[in-house]
Amino acid sequence: MTTANCSRLEELTAKYRELHGTEPEILVRAPGRVNLIGEHVDYNDGFVFPAAIDRDVMIAAGRRTDRQVKLHAMNFNQSSTFTLDGVQPATDGRERWSNYLRAMAWVFHDEGLGTAGINAVLLGDVPLGAGLSSSAAMLVASGNTFAAAAGLEIDPVRMALLAQRGEREFVGVNVGIMDMYISALGQKDHALLIDTRSLTFEAVPLPETGVSIVIADTNKKRGLVDSEYNTRRAECEHAVELLREHIPGIKALRDVTPAQFEQYASVLPEVTRKRARHVITEDERTLESVAALKSGDIARFGELMNGSHESLRIDYEVSCKELDAMVEAARSIEGVYGARMTGAGFGGCTVSLVADTAVERFLDEVPALYKKATGLTSTIYVTTAAQGAQVLN
């Protein structure tokens, strides 16, 4: 853990002692993530290439003797209480953050897993609404907390699936598996090439020296529930239905080769065709980018990142003027290999692969260029690939 994370852990445990008069029995953390390439393909059974980041959600908890769950979120200075019997979404908008814990309690009960009442205090430093998967970090951290309280050992892949179900069926966002998977299974100093159909992965080491991952938050907030995420998913499913008439046996856009797409693209309505083209070409870019990284061709990896952003902007139409301005500002810096939006889009963050020698210039110049273009102040993070979820005690 970083020095900053150790300091946050001390702050968290001190708050738990203040509220409950005892030391927490359970300490859990789960990180957010940045996706280097492979965007909007996880719900199309495609290939993604994310890394866990050194920002996370931490939970300090202790078991109760009843079925109550009593929560306090330090970030909002808000508390929420619910019972494990018949879990319902929070009706008070100020307690909306608690729905991620309620979701995991609901999923555990519905799957026949044991649950125990807890007192819990939460503290997170994954930026909210920035596309760095604060929601996945909340879900995975919550799941590990409930598991520890009930004395359960749950395989990390199953935990990711439980978290995905919670966000889909309780929170109401029809998400893919990537965010929960990387939060649960991330590896320090590696990105994971994840096959979202088989749920297998390959850990690919990131360069130890020479390049940095730089995340730039546009501070244009967006919420997945309110975005067009579910619409994009439905458009992809419609494309599969139409293409299946010509390519029997396909289950998802992942099964369509670029050659097949070119052959049958004309059967798709224009918008549907654009969505399908992004997914099919993005899968190709992701696999090629991993091959480039393995061979040490960072310049090619950067070119593929750039191509990903253009596809997301033109074909998938999930970028926005703020994301485009940030990407343009990043690409203007010599030593930036590639830059693209990351996450669901409509705001949030970009990710850039930056030569170490250019990081200082990036930090100095990109915020000013972005503010001149948009009037907004940005937040820049130089990050490293972190370990996935952990029960710390």
Residues with a known catalytic role: 179
Distance (Å, whole) CA 30 – CA 136 = 8
Provide the residue type at 40 as one letter: H
Owner of token pair 């929601």: 135
Whole-number Å distance between alpha carbons of 381 and 324: 18
CA atoms within 13 A on the CB side of 193: 17
**Rounded distance between C-alpha atoms, residue 57 and residue 5, angstroms:** 10
Q: What is the phi/psi pair of residue 275, to 5°?
A: -65, -45
Burial 104-135 (b: 16+ CB within 10 A, else e): bbbbbbeeebebbbbbbbbbbbbbebbbbbbb
| Angle formed at CA 228 by CA 227 and CA 234, multiple of 5 degrees | 145
Report whether 310 contacts 339 (CB < 8 A).
no
> How many Cβ atoms sit within 10 Å of the Cβ of residue 381?
18
CA dihedral 297, 201, 195, 346 (to 10 degrees): -70
